[in-house]
Structure 1
Amino acid sequence: MHELLGRKREIAVLKEFMGAVRRGQSRALVLRGEPGVGKTALLEHLTEQAEDCRVLRAVGVQSEMELTFAGLHQLLGRRPEGLDRLPAPQHEALSAAFGITTGPPPNRFFIALAVLTLLSEAAEEKPLICVVDDEQWLDRASAQALAFVARRLEVESVGLLFAAREASDELRGLPQLVVAGLTEEDAGGVLDSVFTGAVDSRVRDQIVSETRGNPLALLELSRQVTPAELAGGFALPGVLPLTGRIEESFRHRLEALPIPTRRLLVLAAADPTGEPSLVWEAAGRLGIEADAATRAVEERLVTFGVRVQFRHPLVRSAAYRSASVQERQEVHRALAESTDPRTDPDRHAWHRAQSTSGPDEDVAEELERSADRAQARGGLAAAAAFLERAAVLTAAPGPRAHRLLSAARVKRDAGALDASLRLLSAVEAAPDTRMGAEVDRNRGQIALETGRGTEAARLLLGAARRLEAFDAALARETYLDALVAAMWAGAPERVSAAALAARSAVDSGDPECAVDVLLDALSTRVTEGYAAAAPASARAMELVLAAHQRPDDTGPWLRLNRARPSVTLAMELWDADAWLLISARQVDFARTAGALAQLRIALNYHAWTCFVAGDGSTATLLLQEERLIAEAMNDVPAVHTNMLLAAWRGEVGRAREMIDTEMRQTRAHGLVRFATLADYAGAVMDNAAGRHDAACAAMWRAFQREDLAYGPLIVPELAEAAARSGDLDRLKAVGAWLGERTRVAPTAWLLGIEARVSALAGEEDAERHYRMSVEHLTRTGLRTELARTHLLYGEWLRRRHRRGDARVQLHRAHELFTAVGAEVFATRARRELLATGEQTRRRQAATRGDLTEQETQIAVLAREGLSNPEIAARLFLSPRTVQYHLRKVFAKLGISSRAQLDHALSLNESAEESL
């Protein structure tokens, strides 16, 4: 085992890392530092100490970054051990990603879960260490999967060790160990070990200073200085960036090699696989003899063993850059001819593309086929690279622009928005009018995804108008996007413009197209009002519900839910059953499709519908799941539903902080609908605390905006605030607004709120209206709205000194609010009960079990009958971690089997929510 000079601190950290893994814990660590600082040496030191562990390795290669899952191939092998034991969705996804099977594009989420499961199972035999060097050059698909695994491992005896120049977006947030240069003393020791003669102290100090103690720089730069210069202090290395100095050193060493040796190194540098047989076959085509490798090996620049491996990535870089363009094309041509297009068609296509200097339609078509294969494996970044290169090799302007547009779309889907915009700019010069419209459509969708609602509406509306001449169906989809973007921006003139344009757009000719009918309904609602839109709205809802009943057909769902227009329609119609159903189905579709971004939105929204329906515990679990996905994606959880629930639960400080954040986002991005949500959350707390004037002012602002679908939020709060603050004019305006809708679509939800508003308005026979409100809302299943009516009815009865009747209503309100966790209104109900002479008890903390958040999630899912692998997939854990936590759950609850979970958890919930 070799000794590392000056690395006591780093070695101590790695020792603790290894100790934790051996004790059955999981660890992830990123070694971060500049090139040549010694990260690879530290990785080697750790693996030398891991004789009792299984070690898997991967190295990022710059030229291989666009080849999807190349890093996972290195780490796990072409057919990973344990693949056939994976759950079916994970097996199918990983098999498709590795090219073992063919099929639809694999779910990246299932691929990451598959890697998590494989590593967890491998660690059951002996501790497992995964070493990834040069992570900054790993393909992004592999980096994302491994970063996901690093965040979800807990008790699997798995260690993931990454070395990178800078922490990538994927690795950000993981524990880091910064590897800096050696101290002056240690750096001097390195120089002394390689200098054989006297060294001028000024030269010695200057080299240490300029290299900042970088070990590789010390060794390589010392080779460039002659003994006379070392002694006399004449020529010193030029002031260049450190990486440039090191690479320049390698370049000088390469120039001293024989020409055949240099050509061999250029060839090896152009091949990222490191496959010796491939390199030697290509070398034979170039007339390079085997003895050309001797000098390169003697100079310790490269090794030829099981793999062709350069001493350092900068050696590879220097070798490749040292060649002329013509020389590079020659080696890529040889590699293409040596690569079997049947077994490795993508690398064959890539080498052909790099060997081609001018337009070549045959190569461009082959790259397009590679792009299709890459997308089928979920490799969006690779597909975009293939398409972009195909465009470069395309001479005809039309096909060239088409390929650039395809690359831009794929980059957008891959999340590379800046790169997508760059490609769209290149397409913009094309004379094709349709192409220009599609450029604006893509730009508009990027603007909407990045929160620029006003810009998105403008771009999408313009694109939709131009697309009408070419594709009526695509134009109407774009009109729907434009209308939704304008709604989010809260710009009435743009909402009207989008709606009017959509009304005059050419029909797609399909009366059963949900997108068409939904667009008609929403645009009519904007231009002609609620009543005029009623027939189209009812028909659209039928088609939307039909689309949500087809779990195997995600196409209609994706088109209908890009910006949630279907739930917008359900809320506009005050259709509680449809609202709750669509919300739940969105989660199911997104989870089945593995669309993580859509799943996060769906989970957040469904959490709110569950809360309104009275299921606070499920709402909490859904938000926890959304947070887990955010962590796995290295993102922050969404604010909106957390803000609303914090307001209802009486977490005043937390709610106010999130309201302020939402308002800042609104000002920054012009998304006025977020301001409505923030106003609503504040009004909930103000109404609960008796600050009715403030609640009335906030809700009146929101009411006047007339945000589609937000009536069920705004109107109940505004009516209560206006009644309590004596603003009868606003209360009458609310009543008229509701009356217009009940005449058209008298749903139980709408009738229940209208009856409550009539009672609040002090109309004759208020008690009858309260009873009607209870009756209607009971049919909806919206328990929080039902609880509000019970509370208001009970307060009305108490003020009329009917204490016994009031207690019945107030007890029911208190029970419902407490069950859902709406403490802000449970407190108000408790105060009213005290005023009637009734005594209540606050909700008590759990008296047994003391389960953590994660243990509660696992216990609830186990109670519902999910197996350990199913729970693991739902919570992004390994089955081993699930089993570990279930054992802790059983111990805390004093049970010994899953069959006892229902009773034990029920006791816990009763203790928590007792009155």
Structure 2
Amino acid sequence: MELVGRRDECREIDDLLAAVRSGESRVLVVCGEAGIGKTALLDEAADRATGCRVVRIAGIESEMEFAFSALHRLCATISDQMSRIVAPQRDALCTALGERDGPTPDPFLVGLAVLNLLSEAAQHRGLVLLVDDQQWLDQASSRIMGFVARRLGAESLGIVLATRNFGEDLRDLPTLPLGRLRDDDSRTLLSAVLDGPLDARVRDRIIAEARGNPLALLEVPRTLSSADLAGGFGLPPATFTHSLEGNFRRQIESLPPATRRLLALAAAEPAGDPALLWSAADVLGLDPDVAEPAMDAGLVEIGTRVRFRHPLIRSTAYRCVPLSDRRRIHGALARVTDAAADPDSRAWHLGQAVVGPDEEVAGELERSAGRAQARGGFSAAAAFLERASTLTLDSARRCDLAIAAASAMVQAGQLDRARDLLTAADNAPLSGLQRARVDLVRAQLASIGNHGNDAAPLLLCAARRLETVDAALARETYLDALAAALFAGRLAVDGGVVEVSEAARAVTRGLRSPRACDLLLDGIATLYDDGFGEGLPTVAEALRVYGRGMSPEEELRWMVLACFASARIWDMDRHISLSARFVQLVRDAGAVSHLPLALSCRFLPLLFTGKFDEAARTTEEMRAAIDAMGKNLTPYSEIALTAWRGRHAELEALSAEARLDAHRRGEGHGLTVIAWAKAVAANSRCDYRAAREAAAYAASYRGDGGASWWALTELVEAATRLGETAVASAALDRLAESTTPSGTDWSLGVEARSRAVTSGDDAAESAYVEAVDRLARAGLRPDLGRAHLLYGEWLRRQRRRVDARAQLRAALDLFESIGMEAFAERARRELLATGEKARRRSARPSVAELTAQEVQIARLARDGLSNPEIGARLFISAHTVKYHLGKVFAKLGIRSRSQLDGALRDIHAR
């Protein structure tokens, strides 16, 4: 039947299909109430998708607790392409689907695998994926589908998702809302489905009560007799309510009791396997012929699969029998489900079948939760654990299971349900270890939610509880608390870095054989509790041995703190090696969730060594990762790079938004980075008052990570130029508290430069010479350029113009080669003041017609990465990479990757 009243919607479907046939990818979310015609529109899309491969799946309400169940059905239809995707992605996907054992796969690596699997399946004639009842997909599958829908590029792939509820997984995707039919379209549809006479008054009443819902109109012939429809002296009884579930309930309740039980059994068995259905029916004593009334009424089809006419019939049929019948149904399904082939389904049915406590079933559910969690199915694990907790009489075990369920719910993003479980746990008699575990889960909640500054005090409380229970776990928790406190920074309410450090010192004293992580905790805590000089040797030793004898998981867990510590003690060489190792660990483990933080650590040495092109690419990759994860995180690295490049207007725009986000999430660390970046930019423009204000703010909180100590150099320069010698001297003293003991060329170089700025004429020159020498040796080109600049400015004030020109030319050359535009302009003005005409460096030719993504792909290809590797970096499919590379070759006039290096050599970083 032609879709009535959906001409515009069909045109949208045609546009999507045309794009797929032309090699593009499109996604469309069709949303609307039950019965509004979403399934009919998907049917229409399938009919119109001539020349394309059509794959169709649907969410099933009773399957929502089974991790990746919908994804399993999808992948089964295109499994012939599995061998074509790269091994790390294939392994992650197979682990998620339970087809092999392995470490818990990162969900974004699984998402990339599905994206590339669909892309491969779409190569020959395009692929149209139709997903019905998206609101009933299991959570793991729903998130993967949302990820894939956001990362479509040039795969010849169309995805249409039909849903009642526009949830977070579908945020920002193109939407097609399905509204109710107009009255004239309702009349047309009603006339099309009725053969006999229809009284005008009855017709108008049906249309009024159906309220434009197509399925309500289509169900009328099933609820009214011919005499009712023909009218007569009276109107028919009001049985054609617009409540679809009410209509279906009446149809089901009119069936014999045995038929109702069989329908409920079919509804409780999500796989639609008729063999399983009949086996369970036999256990329940139901003969096959009891299905005939339901089949005659068109409610269900039982053939090679069991299919309900509408998903609402499935859910209504399940609820139309008493709870006692439902328990017997699940018991029968558990009895006929193969414990070896499908232990999780069996455990779930057992859990729904028992009435009172049952330790054996609780154990089965707990084991199923472990399997689900190992595959990354945290929502399913939470459901198994929560049910298991209600089936045990052991109060301690019940609390353990409830806390584990809450932790899994946090991982699954079910934050409200996790809070409810934790609130219930608070009212139970808990041991010290259990109290600590509750605090740990609450800290997880705070970190994932928008109040990250709540995490540190919760972790601190948990660590204190653990000291008498598990000393090693207590030390690990203190490390986590330190990391959380460093991010919270100046926005820490309780449990800031100083408080955590003071508490942690007690558990690190006197360890006979400290691990690398123990040394790291002891060293960082000592830095903040007893002073830099006291903590420096332990931090240096921790970094020297970090990674030795550690599993990759352990090494990865605290690598961000190791990178922080190397920057804190001014050890750039160590930071370079650790940050490179961090990124490598993330890539090797497929731990994509850690990628933004790893790239942020990798960014720092690129910034300080003046490799701005590579720093920009790292920031772009960070942006891609954040976007792919659907998160709203602020890339503070982008703010720092923009400041050092001297792009004032862009910096102001980025900072304004980032400042609001930092306050909302409780990230005081971010506020410090923003202020430090503003101070750098202001000093580059000689706006010393703004620089002094921003630098003073950045350096004002001693318990801060990040840029608080780098801001001291900006404060020294700005305060000196404003004549505030006391402020400059105090800032220099604070800087020297860490730079002098550190003794690296980096630390002593910036200290010498700052000392030169505040020194009298006799002592300044030797300090400038030392700064230039040390910073050159350290390879820190931006700081070296600034040392040349300040030295040249001092020389000019000493009327040594010839000497000044040499320093200022060196500064200008460095700034221009790096891309520090504002500092280059400042050096140029100073050169003019010496009487030398400073010519602007001619702009290097750029390939303006390449898009930012094309430049990024071209550079990665030039560096030797394959298409799948580039796709994994940028969260796009390998075929989209191939498509963009083809455009790059055409625009650059080249034919192979070997020519990319020469073609890209002069392209400016975007």
Indicate whether the TM-score tops 0.5. yes
Asked if the contact 1:479/1:502 (under 8 Å) is kept, the reply is yes
2:514 maps to which residue? 512
Does the 8 Å contact 2:748/2:774 carry over to 1? yes
**Equivalence for 1:460:** 459
Does the residue aligned with 2:169 lie in a helix, a strand or coil?
Answer: coil
Amino acid across the alignment from 1:341: A
Name the stretch that deviates more: 369-378 or 835-844: 835-844
Aligned to 2:44: 45
Match of 1:58 in 2: 57
Equivalence for 2:289? 291
Contact 1:683–1:694 (CA under 8 A) maintained in structure 2: yes
Q: Aligned in 2, Cα 1:190/1:453: closer, same or farther, shift over 3 Å? A: closer
Q: Cα deviations across residues 170-217 of structure 1 (Å, max 9, x unaligned)?
A: 221121111111111101222344556776656644543443311012
Cα distance in 2 between the residues matched to 1:248 and 1:492: 53
Query: Match for 1:733 among 730, 734, 738?
Result: 730
The residue aligned with 2:247 is 249
Distance change (3 Å), C-alpha of 1:69 and 1:207? same
Contact 2:90 2:113 survives alignment (8 Å): yes
Assess, with a 3 A threshold, how the Cα gap between structure 1 residues 857 and 651 changes in structure 2: closer, same or farther: same
Check whether the contact 1:261–1:296 (CA below 8 A) recurs between aligned residues. yes
- When residues 453 and 125 of structure 1 are mapped into structure 2, their CA distance, relative to the original with a 3 A threshold, is closer
CA distance 1:79–1:121, change in 2 (3 Å): closer
Q: What are the within-5 Å matches in structure 2 for residues 400-799 of structure 1?
A: 400-431=398-429, 432-487=431-486, 488-490=488-490, 491=492, 494-495=495-496, 496-505=498-507, 509=511, 511-544=513-546, 546=548, 553-561=551-559, 564-706=560-702, 707-763=704-760, 764-799=762-797
Alpha carbons of structure 1 residues 16 and 510: separation in structure 2 relative to 1, 3 Å = farther
Q: 1:635 to 1:498 in 2, by over 3 A?
A: closer
Q: Secondary structure at the match of 2:131?
A: strand
Deviation at 1:427, TM superposition (A): 2.3
Q: How does 1:266-281 map to 2 (within 5 A)?
A: 266-281=264-279
How has the CA–CA distance of structure 1 residues 515 and 429 changed in structure 2, closer, same or farther, with 3 Å as cutoff?
A: farther
Kept in 1, the 8 Å contact 2:274–2:302? The answer is yes
**Aligned-partner Cα distance in 2 for 1:701–1:117:** 47
For 1:20 and 1:64, locate their aligned partners in 2 and report how far apart those are by CA, in whole Å: 33
Q: Deviations over 1:629-681 (max 9, x none)?
A: 22222223524222222222333233223322333345445543322222212
In the other structure, the counterpart of 1:101 is: 100
How many correspondences in the alignment? 900
Find the aligned partners of 2:578 and 2:118 in 1 and give their Cα distance: 37
Mapped partners of 2:612, 2:27: distance in 1: 35
| 665-674 or 645-654: bigger deviation | 665-674
1:880 deviates by: 1.8
Moved more, 3-12 or 118-127: 118-127
Other-structure match for 1:120:
119
Equivalences for residues 123-162 of structure 1 within 5 A: 123-162=122-161
CA distance in 1, matches of 2:363, 2:278: 28
CA–CA distance in structure 2, aligned partners of residues 583 and 42 of structure 1? 51
CA contact (8 A) 1:221 1:246 kept: no
- Point out the more displaced range, 248-257 or 431-440: 431-440
Q: What secondary structure is seen at the aligned counterpart in 2 of 1:406?
A: helix
808-817 or 149-158, which deviates more: 808-817
- What is the alpha-carbon distance in structure 1 between the residues aligned to residue 891 and residue 138 of structure 2? 44
Find the aligned partners of 1:182 and 1:39 in 2 and give their Cα distance. 13
Look up the match of 2:813: 815
SS of match in other structure, 1:273: coil
C-alpha contact (below 8 Å) 1:508/1:516 kept by paired residues: no
How far residue 439 of structure 1 moved from its aligned partner, in angstroms, is: 0.3
Q: Is the 8 A contact 1:24 1:155 kept in 2?
A: yes
The question of whether the paired residues in 2 share the 8 Å contact of 1:411 and 1:420 is answered with yes
Give the letter for the 1:246 counterpart: L
Report the secondary structure of 1:35's partner residue. coil
CA distance in 2 between partners of 1:786 and 1:285 (Å) = 82
Contact preservation (8 Å) 2:740, 2:747: no
The letter of the residue matching 2:370 is D
Secondary structure class of the residue paired with 2:153:
coil
| Identical columns (%) | 44
TM-score by length of structure 1 reads 0.93
Cα RMSD after superposing both structures: 2.5
- Displacement of 1:14 in angstroms is 0.7
CA displacement 1:352-410 (0-9 Å, x = unmatched): 11111111111111111111211222212211211111112112111111111112222
Q: Which residue of 1 aligns with 2:22?
A: 23
The SS at the match of 1:131 is strand
Distance 1:741 1:100, change over 3 A: closer
Question: Taking structure 1 as reference, are residues 701 and 631 closer, same or farther at Cα in structure 2, changes over 3 Å only?
Answer: closer
How far, CA to CA, are the matches of 1:143 and 1:669 in structure 2? 26
Q: Decide whether aligned partners of structure 1 residues 892 and 228 sit closer, same or farther in structure 2, where only a CA change above 3 A counts.
A: closer
One-letter amino acid matched to 1:252: R
Gaps of 5+ in 2: none
1:882 and 2:878 correspond: no
For the residues of structure 2 that align with 1:510 and 1:394, how far apart are their CA atoms?
A: 42
Distance 2:740 2:123 in 1: 66
The structure-2 alpha-carbon separation of the partners of 1:671 and 1:629, relative to structure 1 and needing over 3 Å to count, comes to: closer
Q: CA deviation at 1:338?
A: 1.4
In structure 2, give the amino acid aligned to 1:42.
L
Q: CA deviation at 1:724?
A: 1.0
- Output one character per residue of 1:114-157: Cα deviation in whole Å (capped at 9) or x when no partner: 22222222222222111110111111222222222222222221
User: Which structure 1 segments of 5+ residues have no match?
Assistant: none
Q: 1:459 to 1:221 in 2, by over 3 A?
A: farther
Determine if contact 2:752/2:768 at 8 Å carries over to the other structure: yes
Supply the distance in 1 between the matched residues of 2:844 and 2:310 (Cα, whole angstroms): 59
Q: How does 1:309-320 map to 2 (within 5 A)?
A: 309-320=307-318
The TM-score, its normalising length taken from structure 2, stands at 0.94
Q: What is the CA-CA distance between 1:523 and the residue it aligns to?
A: 2.1
Q: Is the contact made by 1:572 and 1:711 (CA closer than 8 Å) also made in structure 2?
A: no
Kept in 2: contact 1:173–1:634 (CA 8 A): no
The structural deviation recorded for 1:429 is 2.8
Secondary structure of 1:269's partner?
helix
Post-superposition shift, 1:712? Answer: 4.2
Q: Secondary structure at the match of 2:20?
A: helix
CA shift in 2, pair 1:249/1:345, >3 Å:
same
Summarize the alignment of residues 167-206 of structure 1 with structure 2, pairs less than 5 Å apart: 167-194=166-193, 204-206=203-205
Q: Deviations over 1:722-767 (max 9, x none)?
A: 1111111011112222333344221111100111011101332322
Is contact 2:508–2:518 with CA below 8 Å preserved after alignment? no
CA-to-partner distance for each residue in 1:97-128, whole Å, 9 max, x for gaps? 22222222223233222222222222222221
